[in-house]
Amino acid sequence: AKHEGRNNYQYYSPDLERASQERLYLGNSLHHALQRTEFQVFYQFKSSLSTHKVTGFEAVLRWEHPRRGQLQPDQFIPILDESGLIVPVSRWLTHTSFMQHAKWKAKGLIEKDAKIAVNVSPRLLRDPYFIRGLANSIQDSKIDPTSVIIEITETALLEHSEQTTDALNGLKRIGVAISLDDFGTGFSSLTHLKRYPIDQIKIDRSFVQNLLKDSGDKAIVKAVIVLAKSLKLTVVAEGVEDKATLDYLASLNCDEYQGFYLNKPQPAEEIENLLLNGLQL
Task: Provide the binding-site residues for Ca ion, judged by CB under 5 A.
Answer: 119, 151, 181-182, 238
Q: Is 117 in the site for ligand C2E (CB under 6 A)?
A: no
Q: Which span (133-141, 168-176, 254-262, 270-278) binds ligand C2E, by CB under 6 A?
A: 254-262
By C-alpha distance, which of 115, 133, 273 is closest to 179? 115
Q: Long-range contacts made by residues 249-252, C-beta under 8 angstroms, separation at least 24?
A: 249/49, 249/208, 249/211, 249/221, 250/49, 250/50, 252/221, 252/222, 252/225
Minimum Å distance from CB 106 to ligand C2E? 24
Minimum Å distance from CB 133 to ligand C2E? 14
Instruction: Tell me whether residue 9 or residue 187 sits nearer to ligand C2E (CB atom).
Output: 187
Q: Which does 60 bind (CB under 5 to 8 A by kind): Ca ion, ligand C2E, none?
A: ligand C2E
Minimum Å distance from CB 121 to ligand C2E? 3
Q: Which does 7 bind (CB under 5 to 8 A by kind): Ca ion, ligand C2E, none?
A: none
- Reduced 3-state DSSP string for 6-55: HHCCCCCCHHHHHHHHHHHHHHHHHHHHCCCCCEEEEEEEEEECCCCCEE
The 3-state DSSP class for residue 64 equals strand
Minimum Å distance from CB 13 to ligand C2E? 26
Q: Is 235 in the site for ligand C2E (CB under 6 A)?
A: no
CA angle 38, 40, 44 (to 5 degrees): 160
Q: Is 164 in the site for ligand C2E (CB under 6 A)?
A: no
